[in-house]
Chain A
Amino acid sequence: MKGKKAFPPPSVLNYNTIQQTRISLLQLNGANRMIKMLSGNEAVARGMWEAGVVVASAYPGTPSTEILENFALFPHVYAEWAPNEKVAVDVAVGAAYAGHRGMAIMKHVGLNVAVDSFMYASMTGMEAGLVIVTADDPAMHSSQNEQDNRTFAKFGRVPCLEPSDSQEAKDMVSAAFELSERFDTPVLLRLTTRICHSTSSVDLGERTTPVSEPRPFPRKPGKYVMVPGNAVKRHPVIERRICDIAAFAETFPDNRNEPGGRSLGIITSGVAYQYSREVFPQASILRLGMTWPLPEKMIRKFAKSVKRLIVIEELDPFIEEAVHLMGITVEGKCIFPITGEFDPRVVRESAVLAGLLPASASVPLPEVELGALPGRPPVLCPGCPHRPTFYILNKLKVPVNGDIGCYTLALFPPLSAIHTCGCMGAGIGVAHGATKAGSPEHHVAVIGDSTFFHSGIPALINVVYNCSPVTTVILDNRITGMTGHQENPGTGRTLLGQETIRIELEPLVRALGVRHVKSVAGYDVKAIEKALKEYVKLDEPTVLVVEEPCALMPDVRKHWLPLEVLEEKCNGCTLCFRIGCPAILKSEELDEKTQRPKALIDAGMCTGCEVCAEICPREAITFRPVEMEGGAS
């Protein structure tokens, strides 16, 4: 970092400036109550600021991404994109060890990556608050599974808070830090897509917790060095801790009994509370803001106060099973689905089927017969620099082990060139394993730049170390595309807009011991074809870096220039349809000889990447004539 200015750590930021900013914001909010419509993610960011979070680290992932993006907009905060979620948790732990509030944010599957760190943080506790946000994705709107991360709270002996709307999403950040500091424990703040991406009104608060002064880093090896001799002493501590928190849960204000009729009692949490209120306005409701550990006395009392007890919770029967273990008769997943996302209809119709509501409560649907409507699956954008690589891979007919990113969309026809995709960083290892098992074809692993930095590097080291002739294609668009253009270690810029070292892929890959490495331009179809044809024949690890910025980057958009098809030259060969570009349409015009539709380019969508022009054998695709400026005046 010589010659570069590192971002000043928060402790050395001018405290007066922080004070001044705080005062101005307090004046803004203090006198007049300020209510704003905020998404759950925006509300969490606001809550982080109000709670005096000093260091926040995250890896982008839907539905959690906007939390850190919004937090980074507040004055004098430190926020960073980490290369992966495990690093993000370690960073937040480091801040908390150093005596400052730290926060790590991720989507549900991100916690799988970070769980090793999550577990030691639970063992050690910290000097200041540590909160980890997990944003679960019931219905898998943009995820590979719909795991219920409340299980990790139980697994790690850590409390779990679940807000039911944006107001609570904000307020629970402060509550989580207070809990964390009171009991010396990390706290899991569990959101779901519907909380993250729904908007409701929030009464903004003030920044009540001042940013703490710098203090010496603690030397407490018995607490912070988890060698077996120390860890063995810490385990009983955390077991006692979770019992103490369970006792505290009995009086935790966000665990709330809302008495109603005695015939039905509902235990619920998160957004399911809202559906419960809506569908069962008369019922008694026990709303749990803390879903681990559970307030056993409160639950027993509630169960006794009603005739029939049910749990309404999305995904796993997490609360239901715990209530069963208390020896209380309860129903849940025998009534409501274990898969997918709830809404008022799901809850109501399930309740009707179970006899909880009369048949007359059921809402009939129009049920107009519409036949099979054309689907609108997400597609690689017009001008996407990943397209040529997949066009060639499809042509080569090789097995392709893919990864997580926009490029996974190349699984759809006509590209059809992704054959596996499991989780971040999996493709290279899968390609290696298949090769070692004797898969008769040459395997190609395809991974984006951000995913490669996230978890692709160890897998590539394995390919080199254990020698397999896997070809790894790194699609390097210098940005994290899928989640909406977040910076990454290859961007050369941080989340806070600081210039930084740009990690170059080719030297990195060479340093790992890969002898055959090449970088090619993303739109150079011929160069990609030549390189891949060569690499799939080699009996050694090979890496092709395909470099081209995402076509949606603002700087790239400026240079968009649409192409057109010269009708007289096009003979309807249909080759350009095979790249699956949404800007290339089938014309009504048929070629006289072939009787096949000619191509037509939608000028509003075309970016002018010229990939179709490169593969057109008749040079029938060219730039539109540019209207010359001047002359008229």
Chain B
Amino acid sequence: MRTFNFLLCGVGGQGTILASDVLVNVGLAAGYQAKQAEVHGMSQRGGSVISHVRWGKSIHSPMIGVGEVDVLLAFEKLEALRNLNSLHPEALALINAHTIKPLTVISGDQTYPNDETLRNAFAQVTSHVEYINGEEIAGSLGNSRMENVVLLGALSALLERSALSGPELTAETWLKVITERVPPKHIQLNRKAFQAGWEAVKKR
């Protein structure tokens, strides 16, 4: 049983907290010991959000040390870049192609890094980078707020494809944890969003 160190990052309001809650419970449901740590102090005011999720046979620290992240799930491009130096070499990275400009960029004081900068920087650390447009996929399902569930679907496919996870981690395990956390009337939409994210990665 290997250890997984997931880092989720994004911007307050993107649903990263719910996603990390799902992820830690998926770990538990799959038979791992799991821990999660979130940094959300002032994040609901549009700040950066970081959440650590760890799965393993025996997990002590809820925090991942810098440089020891095996899987990055970035909800936003600038936040992906901000956490690049936390990655282990050849870590898996799933990057949502979503731009949320901070006030420092809106004011014209600083510039938002372009996609080429992002790709080049990630290429220096790992060859396992997957880009996905979660907002667009969620939007095509009629609700762009499903972005976080789309990303979880994509993450599940990525883990499957990389053969990092074994048979203990089925799509149903994920879906059971997700549906336990959403109101009944949204269950179908969440299933669809998860499926759409899964397919987006699986088909590549």
Contacts and interface: CB of A to CB of B under 8 A. Distances in A.
B60 A277 contact: yes
B110 A201 contact: no
B111 A198 contact: no
Interface stretch (A2-10, A360-368, A555-563): A360-368
B44 A484 contact: yes
Interface of B: 11-12, 21, 24-25, 28, 33-48, 59-68, 78-79, 81-82, 84-85, 87, 89, 101-113, 121, 124-125
A374 B78 contact: yes
A552 B46 CA distance: 13
A379 to B, nearest CB: 5
Contact of A141 (B41, B101, B109): B41
A278 B61 CA distance: 7
B37 A197 contact: yes
B144 to A, nearest CB: 9
Contact of A376 (B68, B84, B104): B104
Nearest to A35: B28
Contacts of A406: 45
Given A368-B85, A370-B85, A378-B43, A586 B106 contact: yes
Contacts of A198: 35-38, 62-63
A36 B126 CA distance: 35
The 8 closest A-B pairs by CB, nearest first: A345-B65, A142-B41, A378-B45, A198-B62, A374-B110, A378-B42, A378-B47, A344-B65
Contacts of B68: 344-345, 363
B82 to A, nearest CB: 6
B35 A200 contact: yes
A277 B60 CA distance: 7
Interface string A262-282: 000000000100110110000
B179 to A, nearest CB: 16
A344 B64 contact: yes
Interface string A558-599: 000000000000000000010010101110000000000100
Contact of A381 (B21, B46, B104): B46
Contacts of A190: none
A579 to B, nearest CB: 11
A194 B61 CA distance: 10
A380 interface: yes
Contacts of A412: 103
Contacts of A363: 65, 67-68
A506 interface: no
Contact of B65 (A165, A348, A370): A348
B102 A201 contact: no
B65 A379 contact: no
A374 B111 contact: yes
A201 B33 CA distance: 8
Contact of A343 (B43, B63, B84, B125): B63
A409 interface: yes
Interface in A11-50: 35, 37
A363 B59 CA distance: 19
A101 B181 CA distance: 34
6 contacts: A197-B39, A366-B87, A370-B121, A378-B47, A406-B45, A582-B46
A580 B60 contact: no
A348 B89 CA distance: 19
B161 to A, nearest CB: 23
Contact of A366 (B43, B45, B89, B101): B89
A274 B48 CA distance: 26
A367 B42 CA distance: 27
Contacts of B21: 37, 199
A542 interface: no
A440 interface: no
A414 B107 CA distance: 9
Contacts of A364: 67
Range class of the A interface residue count: 35 or more
Contacts of B103: 377, 379, 412, 580, 582
Contact of A194 (B12, B62, B105): B62
Contacts of A577: 107
A370 B82 CA distance: 8
Given A345-B68, A373-B78, 20 more contacts: A194-B62, A200-B62, A201-B28, A201-B33, A201-B34, A277-B60, A343-B61, A345-B65, A345-B67, A363-B65, A368-B125, A370-B121, A374-B113, A375-B104, A376-B102, A378-B46, A412-B103, A414-B107, A582-B46, A582-B103
A62 interface: yes
B127 to A, nearest CB: 13
Nearest to A345: B65
A536 B112 CA distance: 41
Most buried by B among A141, A199, A367: A199
A373 B45 contact: no
Contacts of B110: 372, 374-375
A484 B41 CA distance: 10
A366 B125 contact: yes
Given A197-B40, A409-B45, A368 B121 contact: yes
B141 to A, nearest CB: 17
B47 A376 contact: yes
Interface string A373-415: 1111111110000000000000000000000001001001110
A195 to B, nearest CB: 9
B126 to A, nearest CB: 9
B104 A374 contact: yes
A485 to B, nearest CB: 10
A470 to B, nearest CB: 28
B46 A345 contact: no
Contacts of A368: 84-85, 121, 124-125
Contacts of A378: 12, 42-43, 45-47
Contacts of A373: 78, 81-82, 113
Contacts of A199: 21, 24, 35-38, 62
Contacts of A62: 41
Contacts of B40: 197
Contact of B62 (A271, A367, A374, A381): A271
B70 to A, nearest CB: 13
A570 B17 CA distance: 39
Contacts of A63: 41
Contacts of A580: 103
A274 B60 CA distance: 5
A376 B89 contact: no
Contacts of A35: 28
A72 B34 CA distance: 27
A370 B105 CA distance: 16
Nearest to A374: B110
Contact of B46 (A370, A379, A413): A379
A542 to B, nearest CB: 30
Nearest to B46: A379
B85 A366 contact: yes
Contact of A365 (B43, B61, B67, B113): B67
Given A142-B42, A368-B124, A379-B103, A345 B66 contact: yes
B114 to A, nearest CB: 12
Contacts of B84: 366, 368, 370
Nearest to B44: A484
Contacts of A586: 106-108
Nearest to B76: A376
